[in-house]
Chain A
Amino acid sequence: MTPVRHIHSRTVLLAHENIDTDRIIPARFLTTTTRAGLGRHAFQDWRYRSDGTPDPEFVLNRPEAMGAAILVAGRNFGCGSSREHAPWALLDAGFRAVISSEIADIFRSNALKNGLVAITVDAPEHRFLLRHPGIELRIDVAGGEIALPDGGRFGFSLDAFARHCLVEGIDQLGFLQRHEAAIQSYEEQFA
């Protein structure tokens, strides 16, 4: 995996609470057998009108959203199904980080394994970000800090192992495989 150490970008806002994985990538696009190309369907039913044309009102279709790699979302982002297609779609759509005050367990785990940095911040910081759409942020993954343009900083915590894997580009399957001896001895004893 490519190491992820710093992310520097404007934010784009989806302030709705409880944005579920069906929202992020509707089930009808899950018949794919690859990871590629899901970005064009990210938030499909918000992004496109029923005639298939982009909805110019939707925030991700507005010019200021182009190139933004940090998504600031309402509370409980990524709830619902375990589909890893959700982080794949966001990455493919150009996002590198998601920030919310609460992120659903499976989504967070899936995101971090793919190098999409899923960050939870405290409620006051979250409110600040929601009040400042398009703000320029610098995320320091190793340091656990988000730097604001005026020099202010927010701390965030990330599971130590997930951070280590992101920063060093560690592949978790490779990590597990290095524990072969322990797995084998467990199997001999119990399995």
Chain B
Amino acid sequence: MAARTLLDKIWDAHLVAAESPTTPAILYVDLHLVHEVTSPQAFADLRTRGLRVRQPARTLATMDHSIPTRPVSADGSIPFVTPEAEQQVRTMRENCRYFGIELLDMDDPSRGIVHVIGPELGVTQPGMTIVCGDSHTSTHGAFGALAFGIGTSEVGHVLATQCLLQRKPKAMAIEVRGRLSPGVDAKDLILHIIGRIGVDGGTGSVIEYRGEGIRALSMEQRMTVCNMSIEAGARAGMIAPDETTLAWLRDRPRVPKGADWASAQAQWEALHSDQGARFDRVVEIDAAEVRPTVSYGTHPGMVVDVDARVPRVGNALHQRALDYMGLRAGSPIAGTPVDLVFVGSCTNGRLSDLRAAADVLRGRKLAGHVRMLVVPGSAAVKRAAEQEGLDRIFRAAGAEWREPGCSMCIAMNGDFVPPGRLAVSTSNRNFEGRQGPGARTVLASPASAAAAAIAGCIADPRSLGGQEAVA
């Protein structure tokens, strides 16, 4: 057989029907994750057509986008931002009950952001096809799965048939040569990559991240990288499973056990691109060139090293973005005043991210005018962080410690950045208005975000310590 890419292998293994010039392939879906925002209309379609969910056991639902991250009120009520948000959550509950789908509800100890809990529970496994009505489904590709976001119509297709109509994407390789320098995080790497290839650099493709610089990353860091594949326009990102992957998965609650684990492991070990497999495009990145990186504009490709100056580009779009952000071309990005800091999201809301932020904050105080929100990615992350005392570090520094959820990443639950305010955020999108109407977003790593909170302005985290945690 000809040399195949990792994408080829997973694709081929899930073909119910191959594609032809006139019809797309029918692809089987192993795991369908569902959340409250992109599913109600799909469930409504099923009801209208009198259909059932074909494979409830392959479907897992949670609530993460519309839910408040403030604790339950003294009177036991949950502080939803609007009655619509509460109604959406109720609809999710009713749909799960009606269709027999497991729901990790707001009081469930394993609930959290959908892309954080899949890997935590071990439902995310190598070689799987995983979909969710959410573009950051690409996160799960860190385990060597083919994982991508779908629209609500497709959510309905998968609920009803466990299949999707898909054209095969192109295979793109990003080879990271060498290892990241101490004090440089996976977030810096992916921002650097998007800066290099552009926000449409991956359009039509699945990116396989490869090379020594990727192998050296922890699972959590790999998830950060794959998470933002969509910000480069790609359908998905993936990393071949290895020892690091197996070590993460072993003993997770929902992985195969005993003899099944052994046979699963044997299968997973074959999941890598063959020697000589052909990619449609290969991009090489030199890890040594990556420095702490932040965004300065209004899309995730507008990035700059934290110790560099805001680029001068003589076009109207660029100028418009700078005007929106209140920045001047040619000025150093460091030193830009910051109003808010957000640590959280499916990009950087895992335990290692909170540790990296806490390492910078330990024994320090937020700058007087800065407000900081730390929102764990899941209930499990929250518990683990509290066990280590990270919540006390955040609180002592003056930050707010919240309940898990998407929160200020998407600003639909009442957590938002006020108009004209600048937030350094560990999330993934800095579009105009993403974190609230008129909000200004600077994307950064957890260490850079924490450094900004202390300095009161954008700052190089290497100047403040805390490197151990991210090295």
Using a CB–CB cutoff of 8 Å, the interface residues on chain A facing chain B are: 16-18, 20, 22-23, 26-28, 30-35, 45, 50, 75-76, 79-85, 102, 104-106, 109-110, 113-114, 159-161, 164, 172-173, 175-177, 179-180, 182-183, 186-187, 190-191
Whether A159 lies near B167 (C-beta < 8 A) is yes
Near A by CB (< 8 A), chain B positions 144-179 give 149-154, 156-157, 160-163, 165, 167
Whether A183 lies near B22 (C-beta < 8 A) is no
The A-B contact count (CB < 8 A) is 170
* Interface residue B461 (Cβ < 8 Å from any Cβ of A): no
Q: How far is the CA of A84 from the CA of B154 in the complex (A)?
A: 10
Q: How far is the CA of A18 from the CA of B151 in the complex (A)?
A: 19
Q: A84-B38, A183-B161 are in contact. Are A16 and B153 (CB under 8 A)?
A: no
Whether A35 lies near B37 (C-beta < 8 A) is no
Chain A residues near B81 (CB-CB < 8 A): 31
In-complex Cβ contact of A173 among B41, B133, B161 (8 A):
B161
Whether B437 lies near A50 (C-beta < 8 A) is yes
Near A by CB (< 8 A), chain B positions 1-39 give 13, 16-17, 21-24, 26, 28, 30, 37-38
Whether A183 lies near B299 (C-beta < 8 A) is no
Q: How far is the CA of A159 from the CA of B53 in the complex (A)?
A: 29
Of all chain A residues, the one with the shortest Cβ separation from B409 is A27
Task: Kindly provide the distance from the CB of B307 to the nearest chain A CB, expressed in whole angstroms.
Answer: 26
In-complex Cβ contact of B23 among A31, A82, A161 (8 A):
A161
Whether B199 lies near A179 (C-beta < 8 A) is no
Scoring A76, A109, A164 by chain B CB atoms within 10 A of each residue's CB, the highest score goes to: A109
In-complex Cβ contact of A30 among B24, B165, B412, B419 (8 A):
B412
In-complex Cβ contact of B429 among A33, A80, A173 (8 A):
A80
Q: How far is the CA of A18 from the CA of B321 in the complex (A)?
A: 12
Whether A76 lies near B432 (C-beta < 8 A) is no
Scoring A20, A35, A182 by chain B CB atoms within 10 A of each residue's CB, the highest score goes to: A20
Whether B438 lies near A84 (C-beta < 8 A) is no
* Interface residue B181 (Cβ < 8 Å from any Cβ of A): no
* Interface residue B399 (Cβ < 8 Å from any Cβ of A): no
Chain A residues near B24 (CB-CB < 8 A): 159, 161
* Interface residue B134 (Cβ < 8 Å from any Cβ of A): yes
Whether A16 lies near B317 (C-beta < 8 A) is yes
Whether A84 lies near B152 (C-beta < 8 A) is yes
Chain A residues near B62 (CB-CB < 8 A): none
* Interface residue B235 (Cβ < 8 Å from any Cβ of A): yes
Whether B434 lies near A27 (C-beta < 8 A) is yes
In-complex Cβ contact of A106 among B135, B412, B438 (8 A):
B135
Chain A residues near B429 (CB-CB < 8 A): 20, 22, 80-81
